[in-house]
Amino acid sequence: MKTSLPSIHKKTQLTREKPYYKARHAFYLAFFSRQLYFDVIRRWQGLGVLYFFIMISVMTLPHAIRLMCTLNNIIETKILLPIKSLPPLSIRSGEVMFHGAMPYLIKNNEGAVISIIDTEGHIKQLPAPLYPLASILITKNAIHFNFQFRDALQANLTRQTQRKESVISFESIEKEDFWIASWLDTTYVSVIKKILLLTVYPVVVMLNGSLFMTILLSMVLFAQLTARMVFKVRLSFLESSRLLFVAATPLTALCSLLVLFHWVIPGNGIAYIAVLALYFSFGVLAYRQSNKVLMTR
């Protein structure tokens, strides 16, 4: 016996209403448009994950650009500047040959010491108590690295924890002229920096997108139950999910602004939940009212 299910499914696809609004319209209509929320529930398809991912990609762009600028500034001032400021050095039989008063101090534009050359053993390791911002120390037989941005990565450690330095020995070098510019070129530092900066944006999008998407998907059943019990509106799982993702647009925009300007709303997150609940309720009410209008025609 032949079944009629394929023909019924094909007929349903042909008679399905096309959405009036696309994802790009929801970026701004989600703040005020009743028609958009009705369209999202009635005519959009799927869970709404694709829209949410696109929306997160747009909303996090300013924050990602700011992070890229901050990271670029850290790399330039904390890593490259101390290295580029070093004078040409000669290495003979594993020892640095440099003539000048020791310690030889190299300062930045603000007058802070960022690099030290000391072949007489006055300063033997980093961090140096008298020069806390110095990130490079060249001694008679080695070069010491201790970049300051590591403090931010170790902020959760105790204050007693000392930053560990990295040491490269010159003992295996018989004779060499150490030119910083050529050394940076051979190590592809500029290429690595560009790659690192370019990875900031996708990492920010994936972290924020996966985090908020997981939270919202875990709230769909509760949102579906709330629509039914409070507003007397029956929504399917897919409809509730789409509505919740679109209703999260104003909240995402708010969070993006707060992060960008380093602001925090007090109240242990209650204000954020209230914004999401407000727009979800707005969408449910818009759908209920539009349904009543259609039924009276």
Look at residue 69 and tell me if it is in a domain: no
- Out of 15-19, 263-267, 286-290, pick the least confident: 15-19
For position 230, what pLDDT does the model report? Answer: 94
The values of phi and psi at residue 177, to 5°, are -100, 120
**Residue 100 CB-half CA count within 13 A:** 14
Task: State the average pLDDT over residues 92-105.
Answer: 86
For residues 128 and 206, state if they share a domain.
no
Domain endpoint, select from 126, 144, 178: 178
CB crowding 67-103: b at 16 or more within 10 Å, else e: bbeeeeeebebbbbbbbeebeebebeeeebebeeeeb
For residues 96 and 36, state if they share a domain.
no
- DSSP 8-state code for residue 131: B
Look at residue 10 and tell me if it is in a domain: no
Residue 128 bridge partners (DSSP): 131
State the pLDDT confidence band at 99, using cuts at 50, 70 and 90.
confident
For position 1, what pLDDT does the model report? Answer: 43
Q: How many domains does the chain have?
A: 2
**pLDDT, mean over the chain:** 84
CB distance 282 to 37 below 8 Å: yes
Rounded-to-integer distance, Cα 222 and Cα 133, Å: 53
Look at residue 121 and tell me if it is in a domain: yes
For residues 146 and 217, state if they share a domain.
no
For residues 223 and 273, state if they share a domain.
yes
Which position has the higher pLDDT, 159 or 184? 184
239-264: per-residue pLDDT in tens?
Answer: 999 999 999 999 999 999 999 888 98
For residues 290 and 144, state if they share a domain.
no
Statement: residue 204 has pLDDT above 60: yes
CB distance 247 to 283 below 8 Å: yes
Is 83 in a helix, a strand, or coil? helix
For position 133, what pLDDT does the model report? Answer: 87
% of residues, the chain, pLDDT over 90? 51
For position 79, what pLDDT does the model report? Answer: 83
Rounded-to-integer distance, Cα 199 and Cα 192, Å: 11
- Out of 35-39, 141-145, 188-192, pick the least confident: 188-192
State the pLDDT confidence band at 2, using cuts at 50, 70 and 90.
very low
- Look up residue 274 and give its amino acid: A
Q: What is the pTM of this model?
A: 0.75
Please report where in the chains the tokens 């960022």 appear, as a residue. Answer: 114
For residues 172 and 224, state if they share a domain.
no
Domain endpoint, select from 131, 148, 178: 178
Statement: residue 3 has pLDDT above 70: no
- Out of 9-18, 76-85, 94-103, 104-113, pick the least confident: 9-18
* Residue 141: other Cβ atoms inside 10 A: 16
Rounded-to-integer distance, Cα 183 and Cα 31, Å: 54
Look at residue 19 and tell me if it is in a domain: no
Distance of CA 181 to the CA centre of its chain: 32
Is 89 in a helix, a strand, or coil? strand
Look at residue 210 and tell me if it is in a domain: yes
Rounded-to-integer distance, Cα 246 and Cα 220, Å: 12
- Look up residue 151 and give its amino acid: D
State the pLDDT confidence band at 156, using cuts at 50, 70 and 90.
very low
For residues 220 and 263, state if they share a domain.
yes
Task: State the average pLDDT over residues 217-242.
Answer: 95
Look at residue 193 and tell me if it is in a domain: no
Domain endpoint, select from 144, 178, 212: 178
For residues 229 and 290, state if they share a domain.
yes
Look at residue 81 and tell me if it is in a domain: no
Picking from 237, 221, 242, the residue whose alpha carbon sits closest to that of residue 51 is 242
Statement: residue 192 has pLDDT above 60: yes
Range of the domain at 123: 89-178
Look at residue 36 and tell me if it is in a domain: yes
State the pLDDT confidence band at 8, using cuts at 50, 70 and 90.
very low
- Out of 18-32, 72-86, 199-213, 276-290, pick the least confident: 72-86
For residues 150 and 207, state if they share a domain.
no
